[in-house]
Amino acid sequence: MSELSVNHLLGIKYITEADINLIFETADHFKEVINRPIKKVPSLRDITIANLFFENSTRTKLSFELAEKRLSADVINFASSSSSVTKGETLIDTVNNILSMKVDMVVMRHPNPGAGVFLSKHVSASIINAGDGAHEHPTQALLDAYSIREKLGDVSGKKIVIVGDILHSRVALSNIFALQKLGASVKVCGPKTLIPKYIESLNVGVETNLRKALEWCDVANMLRVQNERMDISYFPTTREYTQQFGLSKQLLDSLKKEIVIMHPGPINRGVEITSDVADSKQSIILEQVQNGVAIRMAVIYLLASKIKHHED
């Protein structure tokens, strides 16, 4: 087994445990590469990748772009705010126009869930989903699980709680799939209004008391409250949210064991997590960012190796 079972990375739901492990092993090699004096390999010098961001992103876009450049791919960037999408062009038209410039792979972020799946049925390029609405964000889940594996040695058998806005979070859903495929148990914790109804059908426990959740877990993944996706009020005030679901140093120190703290970013300091926790020794937030580049290099490399070479 040294090849992915899929031609696109549309979501963790569509890949196998063996795929995840292959991505991790490949990322181990790339992590060594990006710590060399010269952090670049020539593997993808005949591959062109388009980064299509129909929704804002800072770190994911930077991370993908860096991963692509470290693999020597040619990169073109596209942001919907400065494009013809605002003039009424459809998604397929936009992408086909870009593909006619001989692009081999598309990294796409889109506000609509399923945009990646839809596109993969209509265009020939290899698609990587960099976040589709509140659906999936597979590379984030992979780098989260990879960071847990790096910190704790293994993901299997570990207990992970995802805290915060589960309802609007693509990170939560992808994380649940990835962690469960790797044999971890997952709970979610947050205000009832921000926990989707279907969650128990995914075999995920629900806890509304943060202290209890933290006492149960080995790792706490703190999510951001996505105010921009909220059309109605899901909790009375930010202050009340912080009191019930914010992680403070005081709470962390009062636990009987030392747990690992993660956050996919961007952090709202003082809301879901206080500064001293985010910057503490238990936090692996910056390791997550570094691992993000290695994981994305691995995903891009493995998908690119399935694009056959043509003599044209």
Q: Please state, in angstroms and rounded to a whole number, the distance separating the CA atoms of residues 162 and 217.
A: 10
273: nearest Cα among 300, 242, 227: 242
Q: Is 265 annotated as a binding residue?
A: yes
| Nearest residue to 261 (alpha-carbon basis) of 240, 244, 242, 275 | 275
* β-bridge mates for residue 247, sequence order: 273
Our finding on whether 308 is near other proteins (CB under 8 A) is yes
Does residue 304 belong to the site contacting other proteins (CB under 8 A)? yes
Nearer to other proteins, 96 or 305 (CB): 305
Instruction: Rule CB under 8 A: say whether 26 interacts with other proteins.
Output: yes
Structure-token match 């020939």, residue found: 124
Question: Is the distance from CB of 169 to CB of 134 less than 8 angstroms?
Answer: yes
Give min distance, CB of 308 to other proteins, in A.
6
Which range touches other proteins (CB under 8 A), out of 34-42, 115-123, 139-147, 217-225? 34-42
With beta carbons less than 8 A apart as the criterion, state whether 111 and 54 touch.
yes
- Tokens found for residue 169: 């979070």
List of residues 6+ apart from 230 with CB closer than 8 A: 168
87 labelled binding-site residue: yes
Q: Does 211 bind other proteins (CB under 8 A)?
A: no
Residue with tokens 């006492």: 215
d(CA 307, CA 215): 46
11 has binding-site annotation = no
Residue 137 labeled ligand binder: yes
Residue 305 interacts with other proteins (CB under 8 A): yes or no: yes
Q: Is 60 annotated as a binding residue?
A: yes
Alpha-carbon dihedral angle through residues 222, 228, 234, 235, given to the nearest 10 degrees: 70
* Residue 29 near other proteins by CB under 8 A: yes
CB 30 to other proteins: min, Å: 8
Q: How far is the CB of 40 from other proteins (least distance, A)?
A: 7
Residue 3 as a binder of other proteins (CB under 8 A): the answer is: yes
Give the nearest distance from C-beta 70 to other proteins in angstroms: 10
Residue 309 DSSP one-character state: P
Which x/- pattern, by CB under 8 A, does the window 242-281 give for other proteins?
Answer: ----------------------------------------
Amino acid code (one letter) for 304: A
Residues near other proteins, by CB under 8 A: 2-3, 26, 29, 32-33, 36-44, 71, 301, 304-305, 307-309
Residues placed in the known binding site for L-aspartate: 87, 170, 224
